[in-house]
Amino acid sequence: MAEIIDGTAVAAAVRAEVAQDAAAFQREHGRRPALRVVLVGEHAASQSYVRAKARAAGEAGIDAETLARPADLSERDLLALIARLNADDGVDGILVQLPLPDHVDEGAVIRAVDPAKDVDGFHPENVGRLVLGEPTLEPCTPAGIVELLRRTGVETSGAHAVVLGRSNIVGKPLASLLLRRGLDATVTVCHSRTRDLPALARQADVLVAAIGRAGFVTADMVKPGAAVVDVGINRVDDASRERGYRLVGDVDFDAVADVAGAITPVPGGVGPMTIAMLLANTVEAARRRAAV
């Protein structure tokens, strides 16, 4: 049976460290690191995520405020709001919750955020630094995955890491992080058009599932003893639950746990780490801005 990688416990440790760093920043600069979260519309999942982020930030000693706007907010007005936050010297981090309404160009919004305040790590300038291996604000979910691997002793140096999914949010940046000196993995990125994907997955010492399909990774796709990281969050109907559904990952957890050496659960694996790394990015952004 695989060792369960407890993302909730690791995230709690990261958040405790962030709280210490935030307190030190406040002592030195007379104010708390400041995060502003922009929420457009009433997407239920987005509202839930934003509440969790704001609560965690407050607990870590970060000045967090959510700026909620209606779904019909124009792209022009959203860009104007971002410009005001960019110009506000009291704001260290800006997060625009995705997805945005269809009439808004997400790319334009991402590019509008000051790279120095881009705590999501999505701005092209920060992405470029990431690919080049330069210090930058790293995307929260990939950074959280790397932190999970480091803190739970999963060996990456010389290991073959296979990433299922090529999104700009997880797959691509994670591949860049795993290739960095100090992690030194050999990385294969697979996607929906990859030929014989199961065979490639079976080669992985570290297998990351970020493909967005419930139970996609089955036991016969996993190398015995591999570390399996499940990034997926999928709703499946479950009449036995009060809310009528339950959350599952991209991995068939019970079957794969019998084969893998270590595995992250859903929930309680990667998700808590994403929020923890957002908080870490906010404090890091505050420090960098104060040092300029």
Is 107 marked within a binding site? no
Q: Are residues 150 and 208 in the same domain?
A: yes
* 190-231 pLDDT tens trace: 998 999 999 999 999 999 999 999 999 999 999 999 999 999
- Is residue 230 helix, strand or coil? strand
Residue 25 lies in a domain: no
Q: How far apart are CA 252 and CA 247, in angstroms?
A: 12
Instruction: Please count the structural domains in the chain.
Output: 2
Residue 243 pLDDT: 83
Same domain? For 152 and 109 the reply is: no
Q: Are residues 252 and 205 in the same domain?
A: yes
Same domain (yes/no): 150, 75? no
Q: What's the CATH code of the domain at 55?
A: 3.40.50.10860
Are residue 38 and residue 150 in the same domain, yes or no?
no
Q: Are residues 240 and 157 in the same domain?
A: yes
Q: Evaluate whether residue 247 is within a structural domain.
A: yes
In a domain, residue 285? The reply is no
Judge if 172 and 67 occupy the same domain.
no
- Do 86 and 191 sit in the same domain of this protein? no
Predicted pLDDT of residue 239 = 84
d(CA 215, CA 198): 13
Q: List the beta strands (DSSP E) in the chain.
A: 3-4, 34-40, 63-69, 93-96, 160-164, 186-190, 206-209, 227-230, 234-237, 245-248, 262-263
Ranges in the chain, pLDDT < 50: none
Q: Are residues 258 and 149 in the same domain?
A: yes
Say if residue 110 carries a ligand binding annotation: no
pLDDT tens digit string along 14-42? 999 999 999 999 999 999 999 999 999 98
Q: What is the structure's pLDDT at 149? A: 97
Q: What is the pLDDT of residue 244?
A: 83
User: Would you say residue 84 lies in a domain?
Assistant: yes
Confirm or deny that 61 is annotated as ligand binding: no
Same domain, 175 and 236: yes
- 201 assigned to some structural domain: yes
Both tokens of 281, joined, read: 């990015």
Residue 14: inside a domain: no
Annotated catalytic residues are: 53, 97, 120
233 is in an annotated binding site: yes
- Ordered alpha helix ranges (H), 30-170: 44-59, 75-87, 106-112, 124-132, 140-151
Contact partners, residue 239, CB within 8 Å, separation at least 6: none
Residue 194 lies in a domain: yes
CATH number of the domain bearing residue 209: 3.40.50.720
The answer on 144 and 101 residing in a single domain is no
In a domain, 242, yes or no: yes
Range of the domain at 166: 140-272
Same domain, 156 and 240: yes
